[in-house]
Amino acid sequence: MDTPKGTNPLLDFSGLPRFADFRPEHVTPAIDQLLAECRAAVARAESPDTPAEWDAFVVPLEDANEKLGRAWGQVSHLHSVMDSPELREAYNANLPKITVYYAELGQNEALYAKYKALAASPAFAALSPARRKIVENELRDFRLGGAELPADKKARFMQVQEELAQLSAKFEENLLDATNDYALVIDEKDELAGIPDDVLEAARAAAEAAGTTGWKFTLHMPSYLPVMQYADSRELRQILYRAYVTRASEFGKPEHDNTPLIARILRLRREAAELLGFRSYAELSLEAKMAESPREVLDFLDALAARARPYAERDYAEMQAFARDTLGLDTLEAWDNAYVSEKLRVARYSFSDQEVKQYFPEPRVLGGLFRLIETLYGLRVREDQAPVWHPDVKFYTLTDQAGKPIGQFYLDLYARASKRGGAWMDDVITRRRKGDSIQTPVAYLNCNFSAPVGGTPEGGKKPALFTHDEVITLFHEMGHGLHHLLTQVEELGVSGINGVEWDAVELPSQFMENFCWEWDVLKHMTAHVDTGAPLPRELFDKMLAAKNFQAGLQTLRQIEFASFDMHLHHDFDPNGPRTAQDLIEEIRRKVAVIIPPAWNRFPNNFSHIFAGGYAAGYYSYKWAEVLSADAYALFEDEAEGYGGVLNPEVGHRFWSEILAQGGARPALESFKAFRGREPTIDALLRHNGMA
């Protein structure tokens, strides 16, 4: 159905997205119209009559592509957070068109020649550093997009890109469908011993909503994780664990099995890399990252694994001894690990996640997070009004002291069946100069926490309660959000997170996590849900003592995933007899201390690398953690003279040298400008209790 421009919300760029007006039938007419406008802009830009000058060909192209990006961004976002059969159909019908357009753009020789001419012209030196960086990035991206390939290879490269986009979307959909497909209803209350009351309340409500009695458990994190941590029934834990780790594999519905998709994705990625003259997809992926080579990444991971391994072995030996001597479990099975860890932590540090959670009601947590932003950067955060995609979504405006808008963000905190798992930030609108005005940046922040359940004795509604881990996740995503919102760059291509090397993109997010361990921050963001009492200092000290509880095991687990990803895309032969499952088992024998059961199908739900942009880049979490820990150490170094880590002077320096710069200069230069030297690994090891 054709929708006039005035009524199609996807074609309205005058302000915030019109989510209230959006319908899946808007997608195709809007995307078709915007693609036609983009192709017309490309035709004008590549014309011999258009001079190779910034204003003549770069700006009109940016304008057209930005509109397409904003419209498709809304569709992709809704596909991730409010999936429905109609929207999924519209998304998948338009994804190939979008993929082909960008692939064509990356291969356009006339445009490539224009950028080369601009780079070689006397006018290039007169461009701002941000514009020069955009031109350099474009030249690199044309090379990586296949612009230098002969015609037959160009056509094949485009087919590969198109199929890869569809396979990634299908991978994510299979995982969501497999997750939603499973439910376990328990009728006997005594099978649920140990599980916290608020989790049982949510399970009871889920059963009622499904029209059944008893307690309904799912594989969504807020339902699954507490069972693994607290359920005394070993059988219940085993049933749910098995269902969780075999999602989207051959053990479920054939139509949800990601195994064939993984094999195909790996073959196509290798083919794309070889078409461009790289030996592996990892080499291609690292062209736009800080790390120089796959070998450098693997050496970094091996060195970190060597430091972490003794701690991980000690962690596991302690768990085994505690399980045997205190819990009467002679062997530790995979479905026992979270349960035993939680019991051991309670025994050693005399507190549980559940006890801490009562002190983190949502309104207090958000107030504390916003207070931190206001203190460090001198800004104000206030709740605001905007059309949203779900009643639970909140919207906020960030202003300076004078009330001038700096940026805005949506906050979608709770898990639901229509939303993909995990937590992530995405851009809605990016800061850029438009004539005499500056376009205000807008971000989406998405999490998968438990929604509020139950009421208060006074008849009010209880707020959502967050575990400390969830608070850390929220701060992490806010760090990404601030990277996007606090940029001072006015050029679209390197504004916010645009143009930032992928292995540096986690620096601002992991940096924010550190504040979740500061008394000066936590004392302002806690209030017991029933009594209103703040988090007791004694409990905070126990949390701090337990901060590096099993840090060795957690570090090795991240290294296991990162090594698997890098080897998979570097020296694994996707056309050989071995499978991705064979490789992860081999990596585990080398790296891991805890080996899961042979039927664990982790690769089948590793959407970070098969559907989320982290292919040959999962190491970024550890790589950027070196940078973020070292950056945070400056706040710690200055704390004594200032009276705490919440030092606005250092905060403003972090803003101006790192957050404000976006992708306008290499991340390492930004880091050195902030820290005054090259990064070192010392702070990371110290923060993880492995110094």
Model's pTM, two decimal places?
0.95
pLDDT digits (tens, 9 = 90+) for 303-343: 999 999 999 999 999 999 999 999 999 999 999 999 999 99
Q: Select which of 66, 173, 271, 477 is catalytic.
A: 477
Correct CATH for 255-351+550-618 of 3.30.56.10, 1.10.390.10, 1.10.1370.10, 3.10.129.10: 1.10.1370.10
Q: Is the pLDDT of residue 382 over 60?
A: yes
pLDDT of residue 218: 97
Secondary structure E strands in 187-248: 215-217
- The torsion region of residue 102 among left (phi > 0), alpha (psi -120 to 50) and beta comes to alpha
Task: Report the C-alpha gap between 284 and 276 in whole angstroms.
Answer: 8
363 token code pair = 């309104």
- Is 404 in contact with 438 (CB distance < 8 Å)? no
Chain mean position to CA 209: 30
Adjacent-strand bridge partners of 446: 412, 424
* Mean pLDDT to the nearest integer, 9-30: 97
Q: Percent of the chain having pLDDT more than 70?
A: 98
Domain positions in the chain are 9-148, 182-246, 255-351+550-618, 357-525
- Is 186 in contact with 217 (CB distance < 8 Å)? yes
Q: Is the pLDDT of residue 455 over 90?
A: no
Task: Report the C-alpha gap between 287 and 291 in whole angstroms.
Answer: 8
Element of type H or E holding 42: helix 27-46
Task: Report the C-alpha gap between 459 and 445 in whole angstroms.
Answer: 31
Quick check: helix, strand or coil at residue 534? coil
Quick check: helix, strand or coil at residue 505? coil
Judge whether 255-351+550-618 and 357-525 match in fold.
yes
Q: Is the pLDDT of residue 391 over 80?
A: yes
DSSP letter string over 338-400?
A: HHHHHHHHHHHHS--HHHHHTT-BHHHHHHHHHHHHHHHH--EEEE-----SSTT-EEEEEE-
Topology classification of domain 357-525 = Neurolysin; domain 3 (1.10.1370)
Q: Which residues contact 669 (CB under 8 A, 6 or more apart)?
A: none
- Is 311 in contact with 552 (CB distance < 8 Å)? yes
Backbone angles phi, psi at 428, to 5 degrees: -105, -55
The closest alpha carbon to 310, from 551, 113, 624, 616, belongs to: 551
Quick check: helix, strand or coil at residue 148? coil
pLDDT digits (tens, 9 = 90+) for 210-258: 999 999 999 999 999 999 999 999 999 999 999 999 999 999 999 999 9
Correct CATH for 9-148 of 1.10.10.920, 3.40.50.720, 1.20.1050.40, 3.40.50.300: 1.20.1050.40
User: Does residue 477 have an active-site annotation?
Assistant: yes
Task: Report the C-alpha gap between 2 and 113 in whole angstroms.
Answer: 37
